[in-house]
Structure 1
Amino acid sequence: MAVPTTRMLVLAVVRMLQPVHGYDVRRELLSWHADDWANVKPGSVYGALKTVHREGLIAVEEVGQDGARPERTTYRMTAEGEKVFGDLVREALWSTEQPKHPYYAAIALFPAAPRDEVVAALRSRILKFEADLLHLEREVARVLAGSGHPAEAEPHNVADLLQLAADHTRADLEWSRKTLRRIESGELNVWTIPPWTEEGTAPA
């Protein structure tokens, strides 16, 4: 079973920066690019904070107000939160579950789209991945150039997760380049014979 990532990461940041305000939890996770690699939506962070607070995993440290600014609530981890967080991290570390790649279905349905459109889509995909890879590699270098202290910059292990994302992107990029070459050379041709007849049955 997949670990609830947003829940685990929110607890991690509270534990690391406590006492910490919700805005700083959100900002920290965005600096880790968690919205990209973990699909942590910025708005979901506040919802997760409310949930783990209601469950007794974090506690309110202080509610204060600075001038005309809205009240700021800071949180601290509870003993129960430490236990639950430890269980979540342990489960995530030992997980070998592979993500369900959304492009698999598109590959299976190549024959249902015109060849020219598949070629154009692959070329666009390659350009996107080339840009993504360049960005990720620059981010890895930027994080490693920082102090690595959580109170000052992203921890250095964030560079490792960004490197993993870069490696996945590189693999996807190479697959896309190879597949495009195979289609353009005629080695991969799934358009000569339709895979289905008009009646929806496989050809004899």
Structure 2
Amino acid sequence: MAGGIVGTQVSTLGIAVLACLFERPMHPYEMYQLLLERNDDRLLKVRPGSLYHAVDRLAAADHIVAVGTEREGNRPERTTYDVTQSGRDALTSTLRSLLATPVPEYSQFTLALKESHNLPAAEVSVLVRERIAHLGKDLDEMRIMTAAITARHSPRLFSVGLEYTVALREAELAWLRAFVDDIDTGRLPWLDAIIAEKHHHMTRQDR
């Protein structure tokens, strides 16, 4: 979901904008800085342009309203927004739906994993090990972020999304390492071995 509104629900970035305004009125750049401070860019794609677009969409839907403008020096005017009752209702409704009801998420990697037998087993092992290395670095970075949040004595409530992401990444890495080990040890027979075994079995039956 991109932009501000999708059907009767709010988009992921729209959720972030409304959540910021639940705390206090803000201008879009202030929202952007707050999202980065809380490492929300690890949970959704946060770009100034897309955030301003989401703000425009939410304002057009009367979920937020401009409450003032300010100017600092020669900088362009910044419009401060506040959330409306419509916006509060939209956010709480969206959160209730997303928290309670699993939504199918179609991962390209999962599809590639399912079709990996079309590559040689040794090559898949190398490629997945490369992925493990990338994910391991990413996990280390997220752990550092979590430690920094703890050191700042920031409320844990604002970092549970990052905690959940860390837990998922740890589980993913554990599964991938076991998967590669099964390939390397032969515990997971590859397609060429299965075909060869099937051909051998059929040949024996024909004798």
* One-letter amino acid of the structure 2 residue matched with residue 166 of structure 1: V
The answer to whether the aligner puts 1:59 opposite 2:71 as a matched pair is no
Identify the residue that residue 36 of structure 2 maps to in structure 1: 30
Distance in 1 separating the partners of 2:186 and 2:119: 16
Question: Deviation at 1:12?
Answer: 0.7
Q: How far 1:68 sits from its partner (Å)?
A: 1.0
Match of 2:156? Answer: 156
Identify, as 1 or 2, the structure richer in helix: 2
Q: Distance in 2 between matches of 1:29 and 1:133?
A: 20
Q: Distance in 2 between matches of 1:136 and 1:34?
A: 11
Unaligned runs of 5+ in 2: 1-6, 196-207
Q: For residues 40 and 137 of structure 1, what CA distance do their matches in structure 2 show?
A: 20
> How far 1:184 sits from its partner (Å)?
0.8
Matched, 1:8 2:15: yes
State the 1:30 CA deviation.
2.5
RMSD between aligned residues = 2.2
1:85 aligns to 2:99 (yes or no): no
> How many angstroms apart in 2 are the aligned matches of 1:168 and 1:76?
34
Superposed CA offset, 1:19-58 (max 9, x none)? x110111122223333332344443211110011111111
5 Å matches for 1:23-172?
A: 23-97=29-103, 99-148=105-154, 155-172=155-172
Q: Please tell me whether residue 181 in structure 1 is matched to residue 181 in structure 2.
A: yes
Encode CA deviations 1:126-163: one digit per residue, 9 max, x unaligned: 11121122111221121122243xxxxxx422322111
What percentage of residue pairs aligned between the two structures are identical?
26
TM-score normalised to structure 1 length: 0.82
Offset at 1:3? 5.9
Partner of 2:205: none
- Aligned residues of 1:111 and 1:194 also touching (Cα < 8 A): no
CA drift of 1:172 comes to 0.8
Larger Rg: 2
Q: What TM-score results when the alignment is normalised by the length of structure 2?
A: 0.81
In structure 1, runs of 5+ residues without a counterpart are 149-154, 196-204
Q: Which moved more, 1:25-34 or 1:61-70?
A: 25-34
Q: What CA distance in whole angstroms lies between the structure 2 residues aligned with 1:140 and 1:188?
A: 36
Give the whole-Å Cα distance in 1 for the aligned partners of 2:53 and 2:16: 13
State whether residues 32 and 46 of structure 2, in contact with CA within 8 Å, keep that contact through their aligned partners in structure 1: no
Moved more, 108-117 or 171-180: 108-117
